[in-house]
Structure 1
Amino acid sequence: MRGLVNAGESVWVFGYGSLIWRQDFPYQQARRAHIRGWERRFWQGSHDHRGVQTDPGRVVTLVEAEGECCFGRAFLIKASVFEHLDQREINGYRREDVEIHFDDGHIAGVTYFAPRGNFAFLGNAPIEEMVAQINRCAGRSGHNADYVLELACALRSLDVSDPHVFELEARVIEERQRLVSYPED
């Protein structure tokens, strides 16, 4: 699982969530990329960054999906950066070796994903429940809805279509506008 990370070497890390739009780590290169056999889903709980212990937000993880591709960004980093990334991705995530595909080839790399059954895994839920949770939750990195909006914007800037993310984005915006127009008493 961590076979690619050796001290002093550079490694490609694939980002499909907040790593796409929030790089708080040094990197040597960044490229649009994808991995095969996975899709991005808002099925992971965030008890730290986008929610709290008693009310976790929802963030993305990878779910195995035969024939699918998950697009994002890959970053070439020094192996020492994993100390920071391991702390950032602590809420149920683990490192996984993956094959990262670029327009001009592929290379071995690493990504973080939160497997089913980890302590923070929320799984699928009706869209209305996910939207309500996302619009309600906030943590030390900000409001959960901002995570959804930032990710959707970043995917568009990479010319990536993701129906799951874009549907959540539209519904989050719609619900926020409804609440502003018709505040609950």
Structure 2
Amino acid sequence: MKPQDIISVKASLWIFGYGSLVWKPDFKYKRSKVGYVEGYKRRFWHGDNFHRGNDELPGRVVTLIEDDDASTWGVAFEVTGPQVEESLKYLNVRETECGGYITKMVDFFPDGESHSPVKALVYIATTQNPLYLGPASPEEIGAQIAVCRGKTGHNLEYLLRLAQFMRSSCPHVDDHHLYAIEAAALRVVSCLLKVQ
């Protein structure tokens, strides 16, 4: 489903963020809720040559990989009325044109609520994307993140802010992939500081 198709049928829309959107949505919204989507795992397998890297040194940012046994925690934002069109126009540039993500509708489960999930729009980078980098060890990913920078800032900031969000908003969730990469990146930074 394309974002423009959603505008014509939605007076209200939930948008699920699992990467930089959790701390920097940069669009107006009515309310937000922490929660999760099922059937996906978050992985630093997508390259970024704009926001957090460049053509010579692409950064690594997260995407969702299908996995029936997994769930991914993040934040869903409800946009209503004119916010729907405004947010989708903004995200089309940020996530699709500059990031290479596609959109899907998924079930979002708000934390601590027992009623039915809500449908939410999510941006996912697929293996068909030229920027897709695929799996690597936490050490390799951490080393890459430690040295990359793009127009939005350092790749390390992206990683640390995501880890901070998870610890403060989802302390009961052990995101092993995220925390292993954080530890590896901080080891690289520590070594670089010692050399200087």
Provide the TM-score with structure 1 as the length reference: 0.93
Q: Distance in 2 between matches of 1:6 and 1:25?
A: 15
Relative to structure 2, which stretch is displaced further, 133-142 or 96-105?
Answer: 96-105
Q: Kindly provide the CA deviation profile for residues 18-71 of structure 1, in whole angstroms up to 9, marking residues without a partner as x.
A: 000112111111001111000000000001000012221000000011111101
Provide the TM-score with structure 2 as the length reference: 0.88
CA contact (8 A) 1:2 1:97 kept: no
Could you tell me which amino acid in structure 1 is paired with residue 84 of structure 2? A
- Structure 1 residues 113-128: aligned runs within 5 Å: 113-128=124-139
Report the equivalent of 1:145: 156
- Structure 1 residues 1-185: aligned runs within 5 Å: 1-2=1-2, 5-7=6-8, 9-77=11-79, 78-80=83-85, 81-90=87-96, 91-102=99-110, 103-104=112-113, 105=115, 106-159=117-170, 160-183=173-196
After TM superposition, give the deviation of residue 119 of structure 1 in Å. Answer: 1.1
Q: Kindly provide the CA deviation profile for residues 70-122 of structure 1, in whole angstroms up to 9, marking residues without a partner as x.
A: 01100001321100011110221011111111232311111001011211100
Identity of aligned residues (%): 37
Relative to structure 2, which stretch is displaced further, 116-125 or 37-46?
Answer: 116-125
Q: Where is the strand percentage greater, Structure 1 or Structure 2?
A: 1
Q: Distance in 2 between matches of 1:161 and 1:53?
A: 33
Could you tell me which amino acid in structure 2 is paired with residue 93 of structure 1? Y
CA contact (8 A) 1:37 1:64 kept: yes
After TM superposition, give the deviation of residue 161 of structure 1 in Å. Answer: 2.6
**SS of residue matched to 2:76:** strand
Q: Please provide the CA RMSD for this pair.
A: 1.5
Could you tell me which amino acid in structure 2 is paired with residue 5 of structure 1? I
**SS of residue matched to 1:141:** coil
Relative to structure 2, which stretch is displaced further, 161-170 or 37-46?
Answer: 161-170
Could you tell me which amino acid in structure 2 is paired with residue 45 of structure 1? G
After TM superposition, give the deviation of residue 129 of structure 1 in Å. Answer: 1.8
Q: Distance in 2 between matches of 1:129 and 1:36?
A: 27
Could you tell me which amino acid in structure 2 is paired with residue 87 of structure 1? V
Q: Distance in 2 between matches of 1:22 and 1:112?
A: 15
Could you tell me which amino acid in structure 2 is paired with residue 101 of structure 1? F
After TM superposition, give the deviation of residue 171 of structure 1 in Å. Answer: 1.3
After TM superposition, give the deviation of residue 13 of structure 1 in Å. Answer: 0.5
Q: Distance in 2 between matches of 1:111 and 1:84?
A: 14
**How many equivalent pairs are there?**
183
